[in-house]
Amino acid sequence: MAETGRLSLPSARPLRLPVHPVTALRIGIIVAVLVIWELVSASGWLYRDVVPSLGAIGKALYATLSDPSFYFHLYTTFYEIGIAMVIGGVSGLAVGILLGGSKFMSRAYEAYLYYLGPCPKIIFFPIMIMWFGVGPGSKVAMGAISCFFPVALNVAGGMREIDKVLIRVGRSFRANTWQMVTKIYLPAMRHPVINGMRLGLGVALIGTLLAETKLSNRGIGFLVIQAYSIFNMPQMYALLIILFVIAIGANTVIGRVGGLDSIKRT
Amino acid sequence: MSDATVAAGKAFARSRYGPALIGLGSFVAFIVLVELLIRVGLINRFIVPMPSDIIAAFPRVIEEEQVLHRFVLTATEALSATILVTVLGVSGGVLLHRYLLLRQATETWVAAIAAAPLVLMYPLYLVIFGRSALTIVMMGFTAGLAPVILKTLEGLSGTRRVLINVGKSFNLTPSQQFWKILFPAALPTIFVGLRLGLIFSLINIVGIEFLINFGGLGQLINELAERYDLPGTYAAICFVILVSVCVFVLMERLERWLRPVD
């Protein structure tokens, strides 16, 4: 009996993969997608060049990243988004504090922000062109408008959730409004503020880049629409890959830096 | 100002409709102020048209630009995208819930896709689907898919243990367990996902219509702007915002109506 038991032990041991099953499945999915992509590209089922080969995309990615003019366009887009974040973020923060700090203001005006927030902002672009011209100004304005709403709404919501004890502590120390904002409100609601900024950055990026694709002569959005106009599909894929890496990277970095990933998801 | 007037003002500000009325009043006052500033020449009327001209342009735009037809077109595109999002999004969520390994491998990817600026892929869709309604519908579908998958998954995973145990104690088959227990319990959360999906789809559909100058309400704004019909452009923008707000309010009411009392 003992012998049998000893002999059967190795066969009862579960099959061990050299990698974790989740990692194996992930690798499997990625490889399958790449193989299907390459097959579709080689088969010519779709219009020629609509699905370029992975090699062509890789070459276009390398060519784009090693082209100095690309960095001029990247700088332009970053510059526009940066200014838009400052304008939209600061005004959103101020309006959010105003709305979150006063029940009356919130009941009087927050509904307008709440319902305007999800509206498609790009439709304001013709107005922004008239107000700020066809240059970077109108793109900055588009980014700022897009960024303003999530920041304002998140900050207003965050203000209302501040522990009342902290506010009473501030008042009992006779803190003035500025001290209340910098010493109590902002530190206590850093997570909603950072989350608002993260959402704001995402939509500012979309607003600015869409505006660039509509009417501009510089920026990554312009490069994308130019690649479309001259039917340079590998370059379009390369630019989209770069854009997604930047967007997802920025999103993750803000989340990590702001400690959002440490908050338990509810 | 007497104490009685101050007290009455404070009571009004605290009353149920007081703040909302003050909000509306200040909005109207702002419009009147803009009108006055344009009339006295402090704001250039070739950049900002007079609010009275914008209001006057509404009937013209509605009549001459076939707004009803455009509205139906945009609504049809949104409906098509929503049907696609509902069928594939809910199925995707169910699939991820059913296969744990698949969920562990891909849930973070779906979340990353939900946060990615997918709308920037529209030039790619233009190449694949052409400058047609299909591009617009597919863009709306792409934008709305990820939130529906995630919310379906959240709803199914959040089913209370006691309900699942009740199903098990009745010896329900996996199919019965799904249709009688899991799906009804997840329905409110799934509907939250569908509302989000529809909003994302709608935003993208109107945006893409504007950007590619094709289709319904979005194209209307682009056309009027290209004709430099300023009051018409502003009126069309106001109209699109009003329609969007009405859809959001309607969806919110519907969700509240469907959500069981906690």
Tens-place pLDDT, residues A120-131: 899 999 999 999
User: Residue A151 pLDDT more than 50?
Assistant: yes
User: Residue A207 pLDDT more than 90?
Assistant: yes
Residue pLDDT, tens place only, A84-121: 999 999 999 999 989 988 888 888 888 888 888 888 89
The predicted complex's ipTM stands at 0.85
User: Residue A3 pLDDT more than 60?
Assistant: no
pLDDT band at B158 (very low <50, low <70, confident <90, very high): confident
Determine contact, residues A189/A133, Cβ cutoff 8 Å.
Answer: no
Mutating which of A33, A103, A122 best tests the B interface, going by the most B Cβ atoms within 10 A?
Answer: A122
Determine contact, residues A104/A164, Cβ cutoff 8 Å.
Answer: no
How crowded is residue B68: how many other Cβ atoms within 10 Å of its Cβ?
10
Environment class of A29 (CB within 10 Å of its CB; exposed 0-12, middle 13-18, buried 19+): middle
* Residue A173 DSSP class: T
Question: What is the pTM (predicted TM-score) of this model?
Answer: 0.84
Kindly state the tokens that stand for A154.
């998140």
pLDDT given at position A84: 95
pLDDT given at position B188: 86
Residue pLDDT, tens place only, A234-243: 999 999 999 9
CATH superfamily, domain at B61-258: MetI-like (1.10.3720.10)
pLDDT band at B137 (very low <50, low <70, confident <90, very high): very high
Task: Render the burial of A133-144: b for 16+ CB within 10 Å, e for the rest.
Answer: eeebebbbbbbb
Nearest-CA residue of chain A relative to B23?
Answer: A108
pLDDT given at position A92: 94
Calculate mean pLDDT across residues B118-126. Answer: 90
Q: What percent of chain A has pLDDT over 90?
A: 44
**Amino acid occupying residue A99:** L
Question: Which residue from B188, B184, B77 is spatially nearest to B134, judged by alpha carbons?
Answer: B77
pLDDT given at position A261: 58
Name residues 234-253 of chain A within 8 A of B (Cβ): 236-237, 240, 243-244, 247-248, 251
Domain boundaries, chain B: 3-48, 61-258
User: Residue A8 pLDDT more than 80?
Assistant: no
Chain A nearest C-alpha distance from B26 (Å): 9
- The rounded distance, in Å, linking the Cα atoms of A191 and A203 is 18
Q: What percent of chain B has pLDDT over 70?
A: 97
Q: What percent of chain A has pLDDT over 70?
A: 89
User: Residue A265 pLDDT more than 50?
Assistant: no
Mutating which of A114, A119, A153, A222 best tests the B interface, going by the most B Cβ atoms within 10 A?
Answer: A119
Q: What percent of chain B has pLDDT over 90?
A: 43
C-alpha distances out from residue A26 to A30, A42, A57, B96, Å: 6, 24, 22, 14
pLDDT given at position A95: 94
Does the beta carbon of A206 lie under 8 angstroms from any beta carbon of chain B?
yes
Question: Which residue from B95, B43, B150 is spatially nearest to A130, judged by alpha carbons?
Answer: B43
Residue pLDDT, tens place only, B237-252: 999 999 888 988 888 8
- The rounded distance, in Å, linking the Cα atoms of B126 and B115 is 22
- The rounded distance, in Å, linking the Cα atoms of A183 and A170 is 8
Helix, strand, coil: what percent of chain A each, to 5?
A: 80, 0, 20
Contacts by A185-191, CB closer than 8 A, 24 or more apart: A185/A97, A185/A101, A185/A159, A188/A162, A188/A163, A189/A155, A189/A158, A189/A159, A189/A161, A189/A162, A190/A258, A190/A259, A191/A158, A191/A258, A191/A259, A191/A260, A191/A263
Nearest-CA residue of chain B relative to A215?
Answer: B211
